[in-house]
Amino acid sequence: MPQASSPIGVFDSGVGGLSVLRALLATMPHERFVYLADSANAPYGERGDAYVAARTHAITQYLCEQHHIKALVVACNTATAAAIHEVRSSHPNLPLVGLEPAIKPALAVTKTGHVGVIGTRGTLTSAKFGKLMTALAGQAHFVVQPCDGLAHAIERSVAQPVPAPGSAVSSTDTGALCERYLHAMGAFGTAPGQMDTLVLGCTHYIFAAHELRALVGPGVQFIETGEPVARQAWRLLEAAGLLHVPEHTDHGKPPAQPGATPSVQLLTTGPVAMLEAAAQRWLDLPASCCQSVQVP
């Protein structure tokens, strides 16, 4: 049986889920984490539901058997949509947190009532997302845009130089794709009829914030899911009595400031160099945290 000292598992189709891991580290700095990027099979967003569900089950089983995880964060909108209900059924005692595009938080902040949503085709055409949109029909005007290839382009971008603050949209594949898809959506801004809120419906997209910001301007709010997911994971672990909390820490709430160096193990089914570059660039973690694994 998992103990409070057991690690929390986190997985995504690639390195995009590191954005969720970053939020988890900030919220639960005393925990151990095992992150798995299924980069050999990415991107999930352009594969069928059956394939994504099979990979999700295989990775969940691997993390449970090989790393004895006490909870699982599915840091992938597409995997959540395709398989989380099945994973809940097959692992009823495993605290489980999934992702969905943050439509409800966007409704709380939009002033114009016009909200843009970008995500993978797999997420935005899923039955789960369709139900969410139906439930919120009439509460705002939504412009939904599948962004084929964008998550993969962001994966490849980790080896490229970080754009300078204030510089124009990059000429990389990431910048070109962001420009194509946002242009197709319509006008962004704070004037009536413009989209003043953009939901980043894929964990990768926050790592293209520079390119997106250059296109929509300073007044548009970005809504992503890392922090809400981290808070939900903390609540589930607290309810299950599985939080690893030092004696001097207040048990009534997550630590406000990280007070310890967490233990992080980063795994990938793809090239380890990509994960090493992403870990260093986005989380300031050393290459020694990373290794390549096989998950049949």
pLDDT tens-digit readout, 26-75: 999 999 999 999 999 988 887 889 999 999 999 999 999 999 999 999 99
Catalytic residue at 76?
Answer: yes
Q: Report the chain's mean pLDDT, rounded to a whole number.
A: 90
Catalytic residue at 202?
Answer: yes
Domains parsed from the chain with CATH numbers: 8-99+226-292 (3.40.50.1860), 103-223 (3.40.50.1860)
Above pLDDT 70, what percent of the chain?
90
Of 5-9, 142-146, 163-167, 261-265, least confident by mean pLDDT is 163-167
- Convert the pLDDT of each residue in 161-190 to its tens digit: 555 555 544 447 999 999 999 999 999 999
Helix (H) or strand (E) holding 195: none
pTM: 0.85
**How long a stretch of residues is the chain?**
296
Residue 219 scores a pLDDT above 80: yes
Over range 184-206, report the average pLDDT: 96
* Catalytic residue, candidates 64, 147, 178, 202: 202
What's residue 43's pLDDT?
A: 84
Residue 197 scores a pLDDT above 90: yes
C-alpha torsion sign, points 217, 221, 223, 224: positive
* Catalytic residue, candidates 76, 147, 289, 290: 76
Question: CA-to-CA distance for 78 and 119, rounded, in angstroms?
Answer: 9
| CA-based nearest residue to 129, from 139, 115, 118 | 118
Of 58-72, 152-166, 222-236, least confident by mean pLDDT is 152-166
Q: Which two tokens stand for residue 128?
A: 């789960």
Question: Three-state SS for 136?
Answer: coil
Residue 140 banded pLDDT, cuts 50, 70, 90: very high
- Convert the pLDDT of each residue in 245-255 to its tens digit: 766 555 555 55
